[in-house]
């Protein structure tokens, strides 16, 4: 049974024990997948659930509220991805001032031993935790000796001679190198969510869009893109998408707007996923709506051409 928990305190979620892995898991890239795969193997060997622990907001967001790092993945998608990769219990622990002040020993006792009854804990290379990042693998192993669990770390995953990381993926997305991002992720980069109502301006301009909000997070990319939309019919639908604040119409919140080619229908409330294929241009402010529409026409034509020439990438 899939479980999601947010709080440090509460009863044990895995009374018979668990194997736990800990990480930011933003993007669920090849390195994250290697950690989850190893921990899942150990969980099967011991006959206990796999528990994946992460944080929301991510620590770097909490400590830099004025300039938070770009996010690759929203919380719901992260939880769903962790479940899909074998976790039965997912913790997106509330990272607040109280949590940030927790000592390494307190975290091990309250969360790993108390909530998860962990028998093994697995982390990635360079893992740090607890107040002022005072805890490391050796600290975790020492805590485990008294609390009944062992701890270990997996080897780093490298691609093209460099460690796979969310930082590398963000840089690839900024550069519009979606092929590189897909190789690091093990699948094409996409953003999923539930379609929400916008101002419906696109409909009046001849470009109705399916709109996804980014939950107040800072996206890792902005601009206009050739995309494919999954979740509408049996096959991905070609589309052109804008991701940004819509400066021509004085928008504020980042919004992902996908225009599906040759499609007529109501998608409000449906969960879709927008796969990014190629970058077309930066977001720009235009003097009036007719100028904007003329540019949208050019964007749509170019996106159609690119998508016809770009095969669908396989998902790992």
User: 244-275: per-residue pLDDT in tens?
Assistant: 877 655 566 789 999 999 998 889 999 999 99
Read off the pLDDT of residues 41-76 as tens digits, 9 standing for 90 and up: 999 999 999 999 999 999 999 999 888 889 999 999
Read off the pLDDT of residues 168-190 as tens digits, 9 standing for 90 and up: 999 999 999 999 999 999 999 99
pLDDT classification of 205: cutoffs 50, 70, 90: confident
- Compute the Cα dihedral for 295, 300, 305, 311 and give only its sign: positive
Identify the domain boundary among 123, 142, 159: 159
Q: Same domain for 203 and 153?
A: no
Q: Alpha-carbon distance 211 to 215, whole Å?
A: 12
Q: Same domain for 96 and 150?
A: yes
The answer to whether position 61 is within a domain reads: yes
Q: Same domain for 260 and 298?
A: yes
CA 67 to mean position of chain CA atoms: 18
Half-sphere exposure of 29 (CA within 13 A, CB side): 26
Give the per-residue pLDDT at 170.
96
Q: Alpha-carbon distance 131 to 125, whole Å?
A: 19
- CA nearest 123: which of 102, 149, 159? 149
Question: What is the chain's mean pLDDT, rounded?
Answer: 93
pLDDT classification of 202: cutoffs 50, 70, 90: low
Q: Is the pLDDT of residue 198 over 80?
A: no
* Residue partners of 70: CB distance under 8 A and separation at least 6: 170, 218, 219, 220, 221
The answer to whether position 174 is within a domain reads: no
pLDDT classification of 114: cutoffs 50, 70, 90: very high
Instruction: Please answer whether residues 151 and 135 qualify as being in contact, where contact means their C-beta atoms are separated by less than 8 angstroms.
Output: no
Instruction: Please answer whether residues 124 and 153 qualify as being in contact, where contact means their C-beta atoms are separated by less than 8 angstroms.
Output: yes
* Sheet of 118-123, strand order: 3-5, 89-94, 50-56, 18-22, 118-123, 150-153
Q: Same domain for 52 and 119?
A: yes
The answer to whether position 77 is within a domain reads: yes
Range of the domain at 86: 3-159
Q: Same domain for 151 and 244?
A: no
What 3-state class would DSSP assign to 152?
A: strand
Strands (E), 197-250: 210-213, 223-230, 237-244
Q: Is the pLDDT of residue 316 over 60?
A: no
What CATH number is given to the structural domain containing 80? Answer: 3.40.50.620
pTM (2 decimals)? 0.92
- CA nearest 78: which of 118, 139, 146, 32? 32
Q: Alpha-carbon distance 92 to 75, whole Å?
A: 8
Domain total of the chain: 2
What CATH number is given to the structural domain containing 282? Answer: 2.40.30.30
Q: Same domain for 11 and 128?
A: yes
Taking the alpha carbons at both ends of the chain, their separation in whole angstroms is: 24
Residues found in the chain: 316
What 3-state class would DSSP assign to 128?
A: coil
Backbone dihedral angles phi then psi of residue 80, each to the nearest 5 degrees: -65, -40
């Amino acid at each position: 049974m899939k479980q999601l928990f947010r709080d440090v305190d509460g009863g044990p979620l895995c009374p018979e024990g668990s194997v736990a892995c800990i990480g930011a898991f933003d993007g669920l890239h090849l390195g994250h997948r290697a950690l989850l795969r190893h921990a899942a193997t150990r969980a099967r060997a011991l006959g206990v659930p796999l528990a994946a622990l992460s944080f929301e907001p991510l620590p770097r967001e909490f400590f830099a509220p004025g300039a938070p790092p770009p996010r690759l993945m929203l919380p719901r998608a992260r939880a769903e991805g962790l479940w899909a990769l074998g976790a039965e219990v997912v913790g997106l622990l509330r990272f607040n001032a109280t949590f940030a002040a927790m000592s390494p020993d307190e975290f091990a006792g309250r969360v790993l031993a108390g909530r998860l009854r962990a028998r093994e804990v697995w982390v990635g290379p360079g893992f740090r935790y607890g107040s002022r990042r005072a805890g490391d693998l050796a600290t975790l192993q020492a805590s485990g000796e008294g609390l009944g669990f062992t701890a270990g770390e997996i080897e780093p995953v490298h691609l093209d001679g460099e460690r796979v990381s969310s930082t590398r993926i963000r840089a690839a997305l900024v550069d519009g190198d979606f092929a590189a991002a897909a190789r690091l992720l093990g699948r094409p980069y996409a953003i999923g969510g539930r379609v929400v109502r916008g101002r419906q301006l696109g409909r009046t301009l001849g470009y109705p869009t399916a709109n996804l909000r980014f939950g107040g997070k800072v996206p890792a990319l902005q601009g206009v893109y050739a995309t494919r939309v999954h979740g509408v019919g049996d096959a991905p639908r070609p589309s052109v998408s804008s991701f940004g604040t819509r400066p021509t119409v004085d928008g504020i919140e980042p919004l992902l707007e996908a225009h599906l080619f040759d499609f007529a229908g109501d998608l409000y409330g449906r969960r879709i996923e927008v796969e990014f294929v190629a970058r077309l241009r930066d977001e720009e402010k235009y003097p009036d709506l007719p100028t904007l529409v003329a540019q949208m026409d050019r964007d749509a034509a170019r996106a159609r051409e690119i998508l016809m020439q770009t095969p669908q990438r396989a998902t790992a």
